[in-house]
Structure formats: C-alpha cells, structure tokens
Amino acid sequence: MMVRSRDRAVDLHAPVVMGVLNVTPDSFSDGGAYATVDGALDHARVMIEQGAVIVDVGPESTRPGSQPVPSDEQIARAVPVIRAIRAACGDIVLSIDTRSAAVARAALEAGADMVNDVSALRDDEEMVDVVAESSAAVVLMHRRGTAADMQRGGGPRYGDVVEEITRFLRERVDWTVARGVERSRIVIDPGIGFGKRVEHNLQILRDVERLAAIGPPVLIGASRKAFIGNVSGVTDPKRRDAASAASAAIAVLGGAAIVRAHDVSSTVDAVRVAAAVRAAGAGVMRCEPTRR
C-alpha cells in the first residue's frame, strides 16, 4: 500500500509513525514547548532520528474547548517551521494540521506535502480545491461537533460508533474523489477523542479492521489523549506515553497504516513488534518502521 503526496510516495507496506510537532501555546500536552523555529526544528530532527516518517506541524490546537486561531496567525506559526525543516531535513514528508484553506495553501507552498484536516474538508469550502490543485495527500478525519462543543455532557451518543464512522468516511472519500483528489492521495482517520466518549474510543481501537476495509490507509491518533488517562489512571498527559504506545500497537494489529505520536521512540518500538506479529499471521515478514 502506498499513499502519494505531491512528488513523494509513502510506502505503507509496513506501518509508519507520524510525529506530532505542535507550534502552539495551548496544545493539551506540549503547548509552548516548540514555539520557536529553532526549537521546532530541533524536535523535528529528534523525531526523524527516532524513526518518524511523517512530521505533522500543528499551528492550531483542536483539543476539546479550544478556540479557533486566525489563518494569518497559523501561517506565522507554521510556515517558518516548515521551511526550516524542509531545508534541513531533505525529503521527510511534512504534514500541515489545519482546517483552513489559506493555511494549507501557504504551508504547501513552503514545502509541506500533506494536509491533515480534522473536519474532513468541511470547515472551509475552498480546502478541497487547494488539495486537488496541489496534488497533496489529505487526511480525512471524523469529528462529531466542533472543538467548542464536541465533549459537552461527556460527549455524544452513538448506536454502533464504528458503523457510523465508517459510513461517514466512505461518504467523505467519495465526495473528495468526485472533486478531483485522487484516491491514492487519501488517508482516513476515525478521530479518536473528537466527539467520542471513552467507550467509543476503545471500540474504535478494537475495530480498526472494519475501518481498514474502507480502502484508504487508516491513521490512528490516540497519543496522550484523555481516554488513555481515564483507562490507565494517569492524569498528566506527558506520562501517558507507555499507554499511548500500547494503543498504537493495538491499532497496528487491527490494520492501521499510520500512527500519530508525541513520543516517537517508544511508538516506533511498539509498532515494530505489532507489525511483526501481524506479518507473522499473514505469512510474511515486512515489519520495519526503521530507525534512521
């Protein structure tokens, strides 16, 4: 399996790790940690050395309760970092985590390859055109509600949560393809933590195989999220990396092609073991998210 992104292609025959690089003051676990270009570049280098194949630059927090950030402010945060990483780190795949077409366009012009849109191209009607015209890869994520209201009252209720997410993602993939984005450039994400209760997030991890049956590569982003704290009893997000690595391994066993992580080192190790187990069951041994 491959996902194509502009003039690059990511080989997903073995699962890969997407490293999180938040350039925000208010992200839930590392807000403000990489607010300077030098700090962000240093962290990107560390994640790449540890085995990240994709680096996801986030200029706007989308945690529950967060407020929108103007596009010009997002651009000021993200574009210098993307330029610096592209200049220093060669052909690493760079993703821009944004819902804004203006931010996506500026980031792609600066050297990004992929747009990671938590709204599945719904929040900005121009976003699909930016993606189609640039030949960028795109992550379509399921989200119930908005950042401001998605977890009110403990989160929404579903019937079969995985069935509802599957139906939504199928529809968004078809809609996106119909508007000029090649299917080979699409990744899907069930949106763990985005308008879901603890039990819904656990059901998603249990049933990743059902999501993989949609066709495009599946991205799982469970790293350090609140449900992991609820299950493990660890309140500090920065101390959830062991449990996060366990969730990444579970996702890979279910067929996830990409896992998004704050702590790349432990996640690469967990993914390597899970991929080996999955490959052994399939009678093949392609299990290396290799360290650089």
Catalytic residue among 172, 260, 272, 278: 260
The CA-based dihedral angle spanning residues 40, 43, 44, 49, taken in that order and rounded to the nearest 10 degrees: 160
Catalytic residue among 225, 240, 272, 278: 225
Place of tokens 């073991």: 273
Q: Which two tokens stand for residue 103?
A: 């931010």
Task: Specify the 3-state DSSP secondary structure of 144.
Answer: coil
Q: What is the DSSP string of 57-94?
A: EESS--STT-----HHHHHHHHHHHHHHHHHHHTT-EE
Helix (H) or strand (E) run with residue 274 in it: helix 264-282
292 belongs to the catalytic site: no
What CA–CA distance (Å, rounded) separates 184 from 243?
32
Q: Which two tokens stand for residue 145?
A: 């509600």
What CA–CA distance (Å, rounded) separates 75 from 17?
25
196 belongs to the catalytic site: no
Q: Catalytic residue numbers?
A: 225, 260
